[in-house]
Structure 1
């Protein structure tokens, strides 16, 4: 509930601080005194967009602050979600700076306008003759019916299932889209993969093949040069081996004469041994050489295949071809497994639908059971509010589709007069009728759900006499379960308030300002007497005012 309200530098309000109690609070005052300013300030506090024109003094900031008792509203989850400190006495503040910039705070933590609106909607519910279209919406009608049917647990269970169903359906849709995309490429990818698979690629193969091809393709030259090299080593008298052997013999005879000569002798000995080893290796290589046209042709064909594949896939190595082969394998495998994945998901979806259908059926049964009682009570209250012929025709039918709160279509038709035709509320009900219907619905709801503070803004326009008394009694009964504000011109409603405030204008230092005052008993008698008979208060008006307050 709203415990306190502070307004500074807003329109005609210079400085206002007021506290409120629980129960029914009535606000009265002459037309134009500034009651709409209070609603405007509250609107800003609840998240409406700021307008610099509403600031009284553009050189000063406008500040609106409200203190709310929120223990009964189950808002802990909201505060956690918004990363805010939860306090049972929560303070909301809205500031409009001279620059036109607006700031909002919840318990001194800056918040977005969206977060402020989200909280505001759960703290205060404002109704006027021009703001009753909510009652014509299907969502609101279901909300009312569900409060009476006590299906909150079932609806939440259904909504969890529906969320899961949508997630699984989204997965199926994505897989189907992937399948369509992959299927178009599947044959081509399969062909490319088969081509690479059949090539039996091996890492490092290209280098080995090129070496083999070069060797076989140049075997005559290799043989000639190997033979020539061996001949140079082994040729008698002029061969490198014989010449080196002579040098070795010469040096060995003088090696003992000095250390350097000995070192040279050993080096020549090493060269002789190495040359002998080289000769042996040259002979081995020569012996291994054998022309093999068939092997050369195979190597050529293999190299041509690898080069063609590299060109086709625009890569420079077999290793890169192997990477492409693996990617193609994944694509082909994914396409081949998609059908199985889709089938498994579809089975899961069917199971979820069966469970949802079962919950939806329970919801439907409870709603169907509660609907006649809701209509009977609504018509009874509207009869007391001066609409004796008001009647509703409703139907609740199960559908195949899954809606956000069940599988039903609710038809909620209204007729205000005998012999009249039934139609949708927004088409056949007047503004005054909608106001009374909304009041009746909220009165019923207040017994079944914890509603936020309700502000009725002159919804009693055009009402008088006994109906005004009924409306006042209805608001008073509602206030047993929630805080109710009524901005009213009716003395019957004003007198029913457990506290009454007066909005009035006052000239201070040549400036007109709007004030809000809590009236004491004597002031209430005077105010209500004026509402009955005007400024010239008669004894009968005073007497009537006292009798209203005593009832």
Structure 2
């Protein structure tokens, strides 16, 4: 329930604070006095669009606050709890700057405008003065019926399943369109990976093969030259070792060979002899280990040829083949897995379609059951509004394609007079009839709302006389069980209210101000008299107003 509305520097209001209670509150004032300002301020607190024109001329910003008692609003409390906000009450604040930008807070925490709107839908319902115009669009009929039947949560759940189903369908279509391209890629990868599998190149195999190829290709030359070099070192007659041996023998027999230069020379010759012996031994080992294997050479050269050929096919260096093999294998594995994903996605689409169909059929059945009771209640209200001979019905027709809202469309039909066929509401010609039909529908919808705070903005337009008094009685009944605020120009409606808020425009200090005040009984009589007879109030008009107020405030029997 809305308990307080505070306005500062908004439109032509400098400062105003309104405390509200339950019941029906009438809001009246002369044309142009600013009755719409009150609802405009409330609308901004509930997430309506803001602009620079909202700010009072000459001021930097407009500051608006709406406080709600949410004791009877479990949905609102749950919404706040999900966002870890206090749930003992709800305080919405909106500040609009002179440049048109705005900021919002919920219970003191900065909030997005979309959050204000989402929470506001759980706090209060506003029935605008153009509601009868909205009823000209059949799309609003389904919403009204769902509100009446309490099916909004079911509609939201169906919408989620529908959106999941459509998303899955789009993904499946896209994947299938990409299927032929993926198949071609899969076939190419299969061939390439199989070729690399057969090659099975090891990480260090390439340099080993290249070294081996060099050795095998020059084996005869290496064997011949190493053997020749070994023979030069150790041949019995003319080899270097034999000659060194002879030289040492000659020098060792000379006088003084153990001292001086000769001794040093003999030492060096001895070292040279040892080194030649070791070199000869190494050369003999090398010659013995050098393979003469044409078959192995052919194998190595063929393998190197395969390695270089495949590397050229992929435009990479041969040593990059192992990394390429790993990448292509992973891509092929992913493509193969995607084939299974396609089957899974197709199954998901079918499952979501079945879930949507079942939920939509269940929702449609609930709507048809509620439609009968809804039509009966609207029929009763029409009779109350002097249209007892009218016939109201709710018609269903299947949609051409499934939608988030379900499988059927809903449209209100009415026959205003006996003997006439029921026609779509949009075909009703009389503005007065349309206003009463609209009011009957809104009263029925509001009476079943889980939200106890309702705002009616001149929904009584087009009615007068006894019917206007009945409209007031309808609104008062709604206020008996909750909170109703109604902007009205009819004294018969205003007289029925539990409280009366008067709005007037005054000029002061070369500027225009709007004044709002809750009226006492005397003030109410004067305002009702003004609404009945204009500015110059006669005693008769005042007496009529006093009698109207007294009669409307008596308990019903």
- Shorter chain as denominator, the TM-score bin is 0.7 to 0.9
Inter-partner Cα distance in structure 2 for 1:181 and 1:389 = 68
> Bigger shift: 447-456 or 172-181?
172-181
Inter-partner Cα distance in structure 1 for 2:247 and 2:38 = 121
**CA contact 2:64–2:94 (8 Å) conserved in 1:** yes
The match for 1:538 is: 538
RMSD: 3.7
**1:129-140 alignment runs, 5 A limit:** 129-136=129-136, 140=140
The answer to whether residue 322 in structure 2 is matched with residue 308 in structure 1 is no
**CA contact 2:142–2:411 (8 Å) conserved in 1:** no
The Cα of 1:384 is off from its aligned counterpart by: 2.4
CA gap of 1:442–1:80, structure 2 versus 1, over 3 A, is: same
**1:223-302 alignment runs, 5 A limit:** 223-236=223-236, 279-302=280-303
Give 5+ residue unaligned stretches, structure 2: 553-557
CA gap of 1:301–1:384, structure 2 versus 1, over 3 A, is: same
**CA contact 1:414–1:429 (8 Å) conserved in 2:** no
The match for 1:413 is: 413
The match for 2:116 is: 116
Aligned residues: 541
**CA contact 2:55–2:97 (8 Å) conserved in 1:** no
> Bigger shift: 20-29 or 418-427?
418-427
Using the size of structure 2 for normalisation, the TM-score is 0.84
CA gap of 1:313–1:230, structure 2 versus 1, over 3 A, is: same
Give 5+ residue unaligned stretches, structure 1: none
**1:121-200 alignment runs, 5 A limit:** 121-136=121-136, 140-151=140-151, 155=155, 158-159=158-159, 161-162=161-162, 164-166=164-166, 168-169=168-169, 172-173=172-173, 175-200=175-200
The Cα of 1:164 is off from its aligned counterpart by: 5.0
**1:15-414 alignment runs, 5 A limit:** 15-73=15-73, 74-79=75-80, 83=83, 85-136=85-136, 140-151=140-151, 155=155, 158-159=158-159, 161-162=161-162, 164-166=164-166, 168-169=168-169, 172-173=172-173, 175-236=175-236, 279-318=280-319, 320-397=320-397, 401-414=401-414
CA gap of 1:64–1:323, structure 2 versus 1, over 3 A, is: same
The Cα of 1:510 is off from its aligned counterpart by: 4.1
> Bigger shift: 8-17 or 282-291?
282-291
CA gap of 1:295–1:546, structure 2 versus 1, over 3 A, is: same
Inter-partner Cα distance in structure 1 for 2:395 and 2:373 = 14
CA gap of 1:273–1:31, structure 2 versus 1, over 3 A, is: farther
Using the size of structure 1 for normalisation, the TM-score is 0.85
Residue by residue over 1:119-138, the C-alpha shift from the partner in whole angstroms, topping out at 9 and shown as x without a partner, is: 33443433333354544555
**CA contact 1:491–1:531 (8 Å) conserved in 2:** yes
**CA contact 1:35–1:503 (8 Å) conserved in 2:** yes
Inter-partner Cα distance in structure 1 for 2:417 and 2:281 = 124
The Cα of 1:499 is off from its aligned counterpart by: 0.4
- Secondary structure of the 1:30 match is coil
CA gap of 1:522–1:313, structure 2 versus 1, over 3 A, is: same
**CA contact 1:130–1:431 (8 Å) conserved in 2:** no
The match for 1:480 is: 480
Inter-partner Cα distance in structure 2 for 1:8 and 1:155 = 39
- Secondary structure of the 1:537 match is coil
> Bigger shift: 512-521 or 242-251?
242-251
> Bigger shift: 454-463 or 328-337?
328-337
